[in-house]
Structure 1
Amino acid sequence: MVALVVRRFFQLAFLLLGISFLVFASMYIAPGDPAAIIGGPTASESDVEAIRDNLGLNDPFLVQYGRYVSNAVQGDLGYSYQTSQPVWDAILVRFPNTLKLAIASMIVAVIIGIITGLVSALRQNSLLDVSATTFALAGISIPNFWLGAVLILIFSVNLQWLPVGGMSNPWYTLDGIKELILPAITLGTASAAIIARMARSSMLEVIQADYVRTARAKGVKESSVIWIHTLKNAMIPIITVIGLNFGFLLGGTIITEKVFAINGVGRLMIDAIAARDFPMVQGSVLLVAALFVFVNLIVDIIYTYIDPRISFD
């Protein structure tokens, strides 16, 4: 287990280096001049050039990238071109909202996805199975911005049961839970559909295994056959999908945060891209990438507890 963690941290270092290079290069060649955006429409050519010199934007690409990596290794991701605020401070203020949204969405996805997939597998080719398959197809196909707008229209505007948007209350309060319900459903629907499809296929494969037939032949109760012999052995691919989707949720909240006016990292990232705020974009992407690798490390560790036969040493 220790060897796995050490290997993953080395992989994380190389991965972040590669991602930082790709993001830095993408922002470098992207159209638009951040110095002109900072200076505003009234800035003269000399003012814009002075801003470029001050930010080091006139230096060669490799010099700029080397300076960025050197500072990042020391924990300095730079300062926002828009607000002059340290990038770390801006991200840490907004990250709790993104994390709360991702966790709430994953809870919705796991509950709905596993139950739907389990029922579908146990009632194969029945009306329930067809309904679950239709739900999975619809969940993957429906765009987040459309689903979010429909939920707001129904539950916030017409019924007035839930707030339209925002996330200003602690998650453990009633108001905080109400703020999370609609965005969590919006963001978690697609993941629930993917988990449901994987749970169904994995359960169908395990149900046909010899040890399941043997357990039934010995007279083991059906509930024990399902929950102990079948579901536990079907969980490996399901957990893989859950881990991947949670990583995607951490970096894929941009549209949902926009629709529900949530001040999170996704919204910060898209605003920074529009403003050519290079340090803010790079810092946000690096954080999301690091979290994605960390989540997958946790998934690998969970594997060994579910199935002791799995070893990464």
Structure 2
Amino acid sequence: MLGLIGKRLLQLVFLLFGISFLVFMSMHLAPGDPATIIGGPTATESDLDAIRAELGLNNPILVQYLDYIRGVVQGDLGYSFQNNQSVSESIATRFPQTLNLAIASMVVAVLIGVPAGIISAIKQNSWFDVSSTTIALAGISIPNFWLGAMLILIFSVELQWLPVGGLNAPFWTIEGMKQLILPAITLGTASAAMIARMSRSAMLEVIRADYIRTARAKGVRKNVVVWVHALRNAMIPVITVIGLNFGFLLGGTIITEQVFAINGVGRLMIDAIAARDFPVVQGTVLLVATLFVIVNLLVDIIYAFIDPRISYD
């Protein structure tokens, strides 16, 4: 297990170097000039030259990249071009909102997806199975921005049950939970649909296995066979989907944060891209990539606890 963790952490280092290089080059080679955006429409050419010199934009691009990497290795992600605020501080301020939204969305997805998939497998070809499969397809197909807008229209504007947007209150308070409900449902719907489909497929495969038929022939109750013996083995591929979806949720909350006016990392990234704020874009991308690798490492570790036959030694 320690060998796996060490190997993944080493892979993470090379992955982050590759991602940082691609993001750095794509941002610097794309059309547009950060100095023009920072200086505004009234800036003269001498003003723009002074801004470029101050930000180091006149240096060769490889020199700029090496300077950036030198800072990252020392724990310095740089400073925003827009407000001269530390990128680390900006991310630390915004990340808790994104994390709370991703966790709440995954809770919604798991609570809906896993039971729906298991019951569909147990009651294959029943009305519940057909209904849940149809709803799952709809959940995957519906765009987040449309679903979010409809939920706001129904529950916030018409019924006035829940707030329109924002995550201003602590998530453990009643008001904070109310603010999380609509964004979590919006973001968790597609994940719930994928988890439900995977849970159904995995459970169908497991309940047809020989050892399940043997347990039933020995007189073990059906509920015990399903929820104790079959479920544990069926969860391996389901956990894979949950881990991948959680990784995507940490970096894919951009649209939902825009719809619900949540000041998270996704919204920070969009604003930084629009303003050509290179350090902020690079810092947020590195954060998302790091979290994605860590989540997948945790999924591999969970495998070994669920199925003792899996060994990484």
TM-score in same-fold range (> 0.5): yes
Matches of 1:159 and 1:166, distance apart in 2: 18
Matches within 5 A, 1:35-74: 35-74=35-74
Structure 2 match to 1:233: 233
Instruction: Give structure 2 stretches of 5+ with no counterpart.
Output: none
Matches of 1:31 and 1:195, distance apart in 2: 40
Matches within 5 A, 1:20-39: 20-39=20-39
The alpha carbon displacement at 1:2 in A equals: 1.1
Matches of 2:308 and 2:119, distance apart in 1: 27
| Aligned positions, number | 313
Matches of 1:129 and 1:29, distance apart in 2: 51
Indicate whether 1:203 and 2:203 are aligned.
yes
What code does the residue aligned with 2:258 have? K
Matches of 1:83 and 1:61, distance apart in 2: 23
The alpha carbon displacement at 1:73 in A equals: 0.5
Matches of 2:79 and 2:304, distance apart in 1: 42
Matches of 2:299 and 2:264, distance apart in 1: 25
The alpha carbon displacement at 1:61 in A equals: 1.4
Deviations 1:121-156 (A, max 9, x none): 111111111111111111110000000000000000
Matches of 2:11 and 2:303, distance apart in 1: 19
Structure 2 match to 1:221: 221
The alpha carbon displacement at 1:271 in A equals: 0.4
The alpha carbon displacement at 1:60 in A equals: 1.2
What code does the residue aligned with 1:19 have? I
Structure 2 match to 1:308: 308
Structure 2 match to 1:79: 79
Matches of 1:151 and 1:119, distance apart in 2: 27
Structure 1 match to 2:171: 171
- Give the alignment's Cα RMSD to 1 decimal: 0.6
The alignment partner of 1:172 has SS state of: coil
Deviations 1:70-92 (A, max 9, x none): 11010111000001000000000
Structure 2 match to 1:160: 160
Matches of 1:53 and 1:172, distance apart in 2: 47
The alpha carbon displacement at 1:111 in A equals: 0.7
Matches of 2:260 and 2:70, distance apart in 1: 37
Moved more, 129-138 or 143-152: 129-138
Matches of 1:25 and 1:16, distance apart in 2: 14
Instruction: Give structure 1 stretches of 5+ with no counterpart.
Output: none
Matches of 1:173 and 1:10, distance apart in 2: 40
Matches of 1:73 and 1:310, distance apart in 2: 35
Structure 2 match to 1:137: 137
Structure 2 match to 1:264: 264
Indicate whether 1:297 and 2:301 are aligned.
no
The alignment partner of 1:249 has SS state of: helix
